[in-house]
Structure 1
């Protein structure tokens, strides 16, 4: 009851545009990062599953590095570190790397791709050998078997893990507020700092994050019922 009486709801409603813009930034960042990461991870998982060590070992090292170091550190290296090199500042990449929103997107993509690569590569390993042999017996080439049979099955089997990873990426987008990007958390921090508030901005941000998480969970649950059920007998 005391909490309800002390929360300044009027300030939250007065600054709803601030939170709406932050919500848009978070959702766009989340969808773009996850979509690009999924495509890259699928390619890296296929290469890592190959018998060519020239491809397999560098990808393995990349996933170990990205999963073994904090996301915040990776974002700081991209946003603050790369700009220290004259070669970077004088290159065509600098207009992109000098933008905070693009730096956080790049950091999230590199980080999330490493996790998704492990998820998809594990799903590829679990595909029964008999399934691959059956597709080959039907006349499909190795490449067609990979892209028409193995990859679709791996993606379907990965749906529960992809759902968790999507929520994880949503949580990770909060790092954007540390490099001046006004996402959901950035909007909450800005409101609190402007009016010397303790929790109004953070509570509002938490509600918005939960709304995204619940919506995403429902969507992935629908996808699992539609695409994962046919594989349940295997």
Structure 2
């Protein structure tokens, strides 16, 4: 019993590292994704955005983490330059890889939501004399958020589970701590079951939050009790 209590407390203590990686990656990926969607609206920058999305959606996240941590960090300009203090930190490398990878998926979610906005509403905004900034703020963005939220929320759930890959480069998140405990105790099944319970709790809390946000964004007549 003492083993389970001690292990559970150790895993709980690692939750802040997992949440930090998740929140930072979600923010960074969302910002880049918005830029990618904007870039796809211009013929000049569309190929760049499409190449970014193709590369990061087409290669495994684990491989990208290894390429950043073991590849980019080994380059001379990085290793001997001003970027080295950041690239020598496994948490930063995991964040960079997750941000770049997830931005490609989120960009596709946002692009789909943008394309789903009825053309008539854009035309109505133009007829009302709205300038691009007002049109974006009052017509496009609110509808994009409402349309994208279910798929965007699914990406966030996948991201919080993908943080477990950071343990492969020695980040002591929930999975990293679980691996350390297993290395000393050899009690694989029990430790991984406890770790799975921690991830289930985090994803359940995130799912509940996303559902509340989704209900708040729904039109008043369609909200469920």
Q: Which residue of 1 aligns with 2:189?
A: 199
**Residue of structure 1 aligned with 2:145, choices 140, 155, 161:** 155
1:24 aligns with 2:21: no
Do 1:188 and 1:200's aligned partners in 2 also have CA atoms closer than 8 Å?
A: no
For 1:83-232, what aligned pairs fall within 5 Å after superposition? Answer: 83-229=73-219
Q: Is 1:40 aligned to 2:62, yes or no?
A: no
- After TM superposition, the structure 1 stretch with the greater mean CA deviation from structure 2, 68-77 or 196-205, is 196-205
Task: Please tell me whether the aligned partners of residues 83 and 89 of structure 1 are also in contact (alpha carbons under 8 angstroms).
Answer: yes
Q: CA deviation at 1:29?
A: 1.2
Q: What is the root-mean-square deviation of aligned Cα atoms in Å?
A: 1.7
CA positional deviation for 1:201: 1.4
- Distance of 1:34 and 1:21 partners within structure 2: 21
SS at match of 1:202: helix
Report the Cα distance in structure 2 between the residues aligned to 1:84 and 1:131, rounded to whole angstroms: 51
Question: Secondary structure of the equivalent of 2:82?
Answer: coil
Deviation at 1:119, TM superposition (A): 0.3
Structure-1-length-normalised TM-score? 0.90
Instruction: State which drifts further: 188-197 or 145-154.
Output: 145-154
How far has the Cα of 1:54 moved from its partner? 1.9
Shift of 1:91: 2.0
Q: How far off is 1:71 after superposition?
A: 0.3
> Structure 1: 5+ residue runs without aligned partners?
1-8
Figure out how many residues of one structure are paired with residues of the other and give that number: 223
Deviation at 1:156, TM superposition (A): 1.6
Which residue is equivalent to 1:10? 2
Q: CA deviation at 1:97?
A: 0.8
Greater Cα shift, 88-97 or 223-232: 223-232
TM-score, length-scaled by structure 2: 0.93
Change (3 A) 1:140 1:104: same
